[in-house]
Amino acid sequence: MQDLGREHMIIIGASQGMLRWFADDLPAGSVVLIEEPDVIRRRNIDHLVEEMPFISRVVPAEYQTGLDAAALIAREPGLTNARLVMPGFEWSVGASASLAEALGLPGAGTAAADIFTDKHRMRLLAAEAGLANPAYELVDDPAAAAAFARRHGGRCVLKPTRRSGSLGVQILTDPEQVAGAWAETADPALTPEVAERGLPSAVLVEQVLDGREHSVELLVTEGEIIFGNVTDKRVLLGRRPVEAGHTVPTLLPDEARQALLDAAARLARAARFRTGVLHSEWIMVDGVPTLIECAARLPGDMITALISIAYECGFIEAYLWTMRGERPKIPTRTTGGAAVEFLTATPGTVTAFEGVRAARRVAGVLNVHFDVTIGATVGEVTHSLARSGYVLAWGVDPTEATAAAAKAAEQIQIVTG
């Protein structure tokens, strides 16, 4: 992407972790960053221009609850120089599709973006397409959710229709738990990236599915799928199923792997998804891929890095070329395996990190990273941003990579007091 000129790329939403992916690969001044005015102030986003030379400037604009693309372009005519538009995180997917469409650039399409940023609309689409859903219901009070749980073996999943990173998602094992759990899902805590006015959301109650989770990552250009991958997922046990680790490629047999790819492709076609990455999550139930949720954006939680390692490719670079309307060459077969294991800590104040050298000496370990520092306060892991770090590993196959990541993670103790 070194041929990008000044302000040729627009990123909506300042995910600082994602922005660091581009630090060594994008030319100076090539990116315009669009962010909510109050988020700019709260997170000191203007300073990113100093820290990250590829960012030309930060443009304030309200977008999380709907973007007036025409008004933004009229106010900022320089945006018409852009050659690609991409979302920085979940709540900028719709705005990115809208702005790309207004500028005549490739994108998900506004209709598909609207579907995949609303979990209820996604369920309706999947049903129309003949894909398997868990039983579900849109509810507006705890009593309705508790009644649903009683009809489905006493268990249920509560989830907000418009959040990501497992925020507000809860697995309840007794209808009596619903009343006390309701507020966490109906009114999820605001993360730093969310505008102060909040993100309107509703509550879905769903049937609990038993089985291993998998995700499918599709790279799509003008409706044509040019790459597909299946990732094995591990989640924390208990009430909050936050992702605990991933492995690429999947260990599933070929038949099950292909069934997942086919189901994800049907979902993409049903939504008329145009261009970009579609990241969907599934559980195999009696051999049938059953949809958990789907996002019209790059996956988080290091999945892009795992794909790049396992396939020996630049997956994010391929995505950026796709968003420019190109058709990048990307391998379709893996040459090894890659895995990530996320680190968690007992709630408290971080006082020490132990076992780090031992973890780094494990064969295959590529990186040990901490998201917390000495003196930081660590709380319960209720969503992905509450984890404390990760171990990234490579192996000759996915089994070896998974074992290496797990062994390294076992060496580490984040000491809290």
Number of H helices and number of E strands within the chain? 14, 19
Question: 9-105 sits in which CATH class?
Answer: alpha beta
- CA-nearest of 273, 269, 222 to 111 is 273
Q: Is 68 helix (H, G, I), strand (E, B) or coil?
A: coil
pLDDT at 24: 80
Domain 9-105 and domain 210-335 have a common topology: no
pLDDT at 1: 59
CATH of domain 337-417: 3.30.470.20
pLDDT at 373: 96
- Bridge-based pairing of strands 365-370 and 389-395 is antiparallel
Domain map (residue ranges) of the chain: 9-105, 135-206, 210-335, 337-417
Neighbours of 417 (CB within 10 A): 8
Question: Within 13 Å of residue 1, how many CA atoms lie on the same side as its CB?
Answer: 29
Which residue is associated with the tokens 């792997």? 257
> Which CATH architecture group holds 135-206?
2-Layer Sandwich (3.30)
Say how far residue 283 (Cα) sits from the centre of its chain. Answer: 17
Return d(Cα 75, Cα 37) in angstroms, integer: 15
Return the amino acid letter for 96.
Answer: S
pLDDT mean values, one per 10 residues, the chain (417 residues): 88 86 88 96 88 94 95 98 95 97 98 96 97 98 98 97 89 97 92 86 96 97 98 95 96 98 98 98 97 95 96 95 95 97 97 98 98 95 93 98 98 97
Which residue is associated with the tokens 């076609």? 269
Return d(Cα 85, Cα 10) in angstroms, integer: 5
Query: What is this structure's pTM?
Result: 0.95
Which residues, including other chains, have CB under 8 Å from residue 359's CB and lie 6 or more apart? 365, 368, 391, 408, 409, 411, 412
CATH of domain 210-335: 3.30.470.20
- CA-nearest of 2, 8, 6, 7 to 324 is 8
- H or E element at residue 183: helix 178-186
Which residues, including other chains, have CB under 8 Å from residue 395's CB and lie 6 or more apart? 336, 337, 338, 339, 364, 401, 402, 403, 404
Spell 133-158 as b/e; 16+ CB within 10 A means b: bbebbebeebeebbbbbeebeebbbb
- CA-nearest of 76, 47, 38 to 59 is 76
- What is the CA angle 142-144-146, rounded to 5? 70
Q: Residues 223, 258, 337, 236: is their CA dihedral positive or negative? A: positive
